[in-house]
Amino acid sequence: MKIAWFKKIISPEIGAYIAGYSLKDKSVAKLDDLYMTGLCADDGKNKVLIVSFDLIGLDEFFTRDIRRACAEILGIEECAVMFSCTHTHTGPECRALAKAPQQLNKPYLEQLKTWILDEVRNLKDFRECSVFFYSSKCDENRSRRYVTACNHASFTPHRREVVPTVSEYADKELGQLCFIDKETGLPLYLVGNYAAHPLAGHAPGLGGRRISADFPGAFRRYVTSETGAESMFISGAAGDLVPKEDELGADAIDRMGKNLAKAAIGGLVDCTRNPARFRMDDAKVGAVSKFVTVPLRKHKIGTIPAFYDGKTAIDLEIQAVSIGDVCFVGVPGELCCELGQEIKWHSPFRRTWIAYVSTAYLSYLVPANLMVAGGYEGGAQRFTARCGLMLLNTAADAMFELREKIFPQEGGEIYPDCLQPPLVNIPANR
């Protein structure tokens, strides 16, 4: 495996409209810079490119156009280029809003396009490395839904006093990909994946009007300062998850980012000292995209951006990109953690992580019962109730197809069928 990477500041000018809350919010200061981080992995035969943006989301028309251009530069398939947004709410408005199309920052998007293509053209100095994975549980998030015994949901950002009683499911997994320089044995690059809205710092007033990458930025800074490795943060299925200290300001950003980063550094220690368990020897890369046509809810037809006008159903893209025995699944909006966990459960890969707001920005994507219970996420979903199940099935199909594509030596007997693990299965380092 060889890798190359880039890191580019993509902060807008102070004074740009801030995305995610009020349409009237303009940035008045900058707490920290927004970044675009890109990683290209080359197994000697195939390449994949993963790019993470400190942005709230990107529209399908923009995403597809730039992915196609990046693929042409690298000589790879479009499906092998994956974009994902951390979903910070203190960055520029880069989505086309149906009710406020004037908010779209078109000059910023033009600049962003130039930045992306320039960085991809300049990818060079590929470094040979060993690839490790790791997974740990980090108690840094919580559900923002309080659900009663009769299955009615309250949105806790509007009812904060019930937060201590919230017990809905939250995915606590911190996933890691670690790339270690083969020559020096030192960490080169670390990818972290965790599910929570980047809203730690969005305090009322100033906190919500300062440009900031929120806790993903703090995570990257700490990883790099302590290990010397460059890093990327990819948000997981955070649709209904927030930081445990949400909307409390800069200290909450720093605390959560550092706690996740310290857990990641601990994972780096463990995986490199136990290579028989965590190193992916002869890691291969691959990618698959699949589309599923999903009907819109009738009363949501007029709420979609203008480039979908006239449609009563939309083709949603699910993307699967693998590096060794780890698969990233790119989704077209704000996937709730319950669906993200189901995708993980149905995966034939050793570890599977969600790439949030990846192939498009189409608002919330929820399991059907969240629509029954009500609350913010179910009410915001634009698609009919079967959407979540359709996305899950499409993701499973994509992952199994990708598994067969990159591991043909398994001979059609897909990887889980080839295993005969012992009843007591706690592997020791060899």
**For residue 146, what are the β-bridge partners?**
154
Separation of alpha carbons 285 and 322, rounded Å: 5
pLDDT band at 430; cut points 50, 70, 90 = low
Closest CA to 206 of 25, 403, 399, 427: 25
Mark 333-345 as b/e (b = at least 16 C-beta within 10 Å). bbbbbbbbbbbbe
pLDDT band at 421; cut points 50, 70, 90 = confident
Reported in sequence order, the residue ranges of 86-144 that DSSP labels E, i.e. its strands, are: 127-137, 141-143
Residue % of the chain over a pLDDT of 90: 87
Separation of alpha carbons 330 and 355, rounded Å: 5
Give the tokens for residue 19: 């995305």
CB 286 within 8 A of CB 319: no
Contacting residues for 341 by C-beta, under 8 A, at least 6 apart: 169, 171, 237
Q: What is the mean pLDDT of residues 365-379?
A: 94
CA 136 distance to own-chain centroid: 17
Task: State pLDDT tens for residues 395-412.
Answer: 999 999 999 999 887 766
What's the confidence (pLDDT) of residue 6? 98
CB 353 within 8 A of CB 195: no
Give the tokens for residue 354: 């969600």
Give the tokens for residue 281: 């020897």
Separation of alpha carbons 333 and 362, rounded Å: 5
Separation of alpha carbons 291 and 134, rounded Å: 30
Q: What is the mean pLDDT of residues 274-279?
A: 95
What's the confidence (pLDDT) of residue 98? 73
Q: Kindly give the residue spans of alpha helices, DSSP state H, lying in 17-105.
A: 60-74
**Residue recorded with tokens 């919330």:** 364
Closest CA to 385 of 397, 373, 394, 395: 373
**410 torsion bin: left (phi>0), alpha (psi -120 to 50), beta (else):** alpha
Q: What is the mean pLDDT of residues 297-320?
A: 89
What's the confidence (pLDDT) of residue 236? 98
| Most distant CA pair in the chain, distance | 60
Least confident residue range of 26-30, 304-308, 382-386:
304-308
What's the confidence (pLDDT) of residue 160? 93
pLDDT band at 101; cut points 50, 70, 90 = confident
**For residue 11, what are the β-bridge partners?**
none
Separation of alpha carbons 72 and 297, rounded Å: 36
What's the confidence (pLDDT) of residue 413? 66
CB 198 within 8 A of CB 276: no
Amino acid letter, residue 90: T
pLDDT band at 235; cut points 50, 70, 90 = very high
- What is the overall mean pLDDT for the chain? 94
Give, for 190, the enclosing helix (H) or strand (E): strand 187-194
Domain residue ranges in the chain:
2-278, 285-418
Half-sphere exposure of 215 (CA within 13 A, CB side): 34
Task: State pLDDT tens for residues 151-175.
Answer: 999 999 999 999 999 999 999 999 9
Separation of alpha carbons 351 and 97, rounded Å: 35
pLDDT band at 414; cut points 50, 70, 90 = low
CB 52 within 8 A of CB 85: yes
Least confident residue range of 8-22, 92-106, 152-166, 234-248:
92-106
What's the confidence (pLDDT) of residue 417? 73
Q: What is the mean pLDDT of residues 416-430?
A: 71
Cβ-based neighbour number of residue 33 at 10 Å: 14
Task: State pLDDT tens for residues 337-356.
Answer: 999 999 999 999 999 999 99
What's the confidence (pLDDT) of residue 412? 64
Amino acid letter, residue 84: S
Task: State pLDDT tens for residues 33-87.
Answer: 999 999 999 999 999 999 999 999 999 999 999 999 999 999 999 999 999 999 9
Separation of alpha carbons 389 and 393, rounded Å: 6
Give, for 377, the enclosing helix (H) or strand (E): helix 376-380
Considering the entire predicted model, what is its pTM?
0.96
Query: Running DSSP on this structure, what letter comes out for residue 35?
Result: E
